[in-house]
Structures are given as C-alpha cells and as structure tokens.
Amino acid sequence: MTFVMPVLNESGYLRRAVETVLAQDVDAPMELILALGPSTDGTSELARELALEDHRIVLVDNPAADIPVGLNLAIRAGRYPTVVRVDAHSELEPSYTTHALATLDRVGAANVGGVMRADGRTPFQRAVARAYNSPIGLGGGAYHGGTQEGEAESAYLGVMRRAALDEVGLFDETIRRGEDWELNLRIRRAGYRVWFDPTLSVTYWPRESWARLVRQFSATGRWRGELVRRFGRGNSLRFFAPPVLVLTLLLGIVVGVLQATGVLQGWWSLAASIVYLPVIAYVLLIAGVSLGSGGGHGWRDKLWTAAVLPTMHLAWGWGFLIGVLRGAHDTVDTSRLGSRNTPLP
C-alpha cells in the first residue's frame, strides 16, 4: 500500500496527518511517500525527523512545489499496487483504507473516495468548515456531504489502482488546481469506474485566514476556468454558478449607477430592476444558512459564516471568469506559501 502526500509549508499539520496514515489498520505492507516542496516554515526538517522515527516514511524532493508534480514523483517512487492519496491537512480514521479497499473490490472501481469532513478550531476556520460541509458552500459535489453511494464525477483524495493510473498517464503536470478532477475524467473515459462511498470520511482542516482563503479560491476558480477552456461540456453545470453570481452582481451595480444618475428612468428603470431579484434571493439564502443550525451556535460564528460564504463564491467566480477569458497560465495557490500554519491541538 503506497500512501502519497505532497507537502509544502505544513509544519502545523504534518505530524498529525502522518500519524493517522501510519495508524491505518491495513494487513499489508505499506509506505508513506512525502513529496517535499521548498518549505520555509520548518516542514522539511519536521519531515526528516518523522522519517527517522519510522522506516515506512520515504522522502522525495519536489522543487517545483506543484501538487500534481509532487504526486507523480511520489507515485513513481512507490512499490505497491494500490495508491492512497492523502493531504497534509487531512486526518484518516484507522479503518479508512481497509474500508476503501473493500469497496474498491466490491464495485470493481479504479478509484474510490468518500466525504470531506471539514473541521476548524477558530471561529473563522469553523465558518470555512461549515461552508465546505454545506451544499451551498461548494456546490453540492458528492464528497461535500453526499449520502448516496454510486459512480461519481470525481473523488476526494482517493484510493486508486496503480495499474489504472499507469494506463491513463498519472496526473497532468500542466494543471496546478483541479488535477484530481481531470485525472478522474481520464479514468472514466478509459472505461473505469470512479466510485463515491459516503461511509468513508476524511477530516480536513481548511485555511486559517481570510487572505489565505481568498487566494486559495481565486486560484481554484481560475484553474476551473482553464479546465472549461480545455474540456468544455465535460464540466458540470454547478461550476458555472459562482461566475453567474459575479456577473449578476456586476450587472446590478451598473443598473444601480444608471438609475442613480438618471440615465434609466420610468419603465426602463423598472424593467432593469429585475436584476436585483437574484441578488436579494442570494442575500436571503446566505442569511438563512448563517442564522440556521448550520451557522454555528454563537453570533461570532454566524457572522463569520455570513462573511465566508460570499467570499468563497465571489473569489472563485471571479477567478473562473479570468480563467475562461485568459487561461490559468502559471497561476499558483499562494495560500500555501510563506507564513507558518497554526498548529492543531
């Protein structure tokens, strides 16, 4: 069993993530391969310390820092026929891999994934986690709270057959975000199954600050726009909701300015006011989610939820529009660079 984990500036999360991998109750040989990017927060030193503590940990250098490059380096260095993708921000239950292997064999899939269960420590991080766990936050993808087992468009992280990965050519190293979706598209087009099992879950710790969240979602949205340029109708319609929201808000601002300056008057002004209806509906939706049971138990958590949801939608949607119009080029997720992560308890 080969576990692969790309790592960059994760000193606050790496040890716990590694511990949950090494604690898997699999009855088979295993290895954890860490693809080390050029971290600046002591992550590489911590990784070397962990490797000295357990011979199952193997280190490979990933000077490019890109996730798909690191994943491919780790996969190629692996020795076993099953590849389990893990993340430095993730934590696995002890039975995760055993259960995934059973599902992989039961349904004859090439890739099996489960639910991303986001969690947080601070009011802000908890608000981001609630947004991740809500169908309103990330558009209702199966691994964000789905309950129906079956074939899926993609898989969160994933437990994969090495033979299928080799056949389709591993991860596309020209795609810096959304690389898992694109890989699963090729797996499905090759005639294999990608399977969602809701009884599998992985704890995920989201970004800890507003600036990091904006940078993450802007980059992700821009790469989704790039994927739309490349694959067109292969993309789900749900990916188009955030850019439609951005365009609607911009149109509302234009109409408001024209009305305020008197350019639009009378029936023309009344007809143009229809653009405000979806904006009002969106505001009411965000308010309902934030004030409801999903918005947390304290006012501080509810207010952060009301701020986080539109931040995610607008950053992603704006990035998507830029990606569609101009492409992603060398866009990177800068939320992974630079400062030290907050350690977990």
Coil, helix or strand at residue 30: coil
Q: Is the model's pLDDT at 340 over the cut of 50?
A: no
Break the chain into its structural domains and give their ranges.
Answer: 2-208, 230-331
In the chain, what's the furthest Cα-to-Cα distance? 76
The CA distance from 104 to 26, in Å, is 14
The CA distance from 179 to 62, in Å, is 16
Closest by CA position to 179, among listed 318, 341, 70 = 70
Q: Is the model's pLDDT at 344 over the cut of 60?
A: no
pLDDT digits (tens, 9 = 90+) for 27-76: 899 999 999 999 999 999 999 999 999 999 999 999 988 999 999 999 99
- Give the pLDDT band (50/70/90) at residue 215: very high
Kindly state the average pLDDT of the residues 139-160. Answer: 80
Note the pTM of the prediction, 2 decimals: 0.87
Q: What tokens appear for 236 in the block?
A: 């789900």
Kindly state the average pLDDT of the residues 232-251. Answer: 90
pLDDT digits (tens, 9 = 90+) for 169-178: 999 999 999 9
Q: Is the model's pLDDT at 131 over the cut of 80?
A: yes
Closest by CA position to 304, among listed 165, 121, 65 = 121
Q: Is the model's pLDDT at 343 over the cut of 50?
A: no
The CA distance from 289 to 313, in Å, is 14
**CATH number 3.40.50.2300 given to 2-208:** no
pLDDT of residue 121: 85
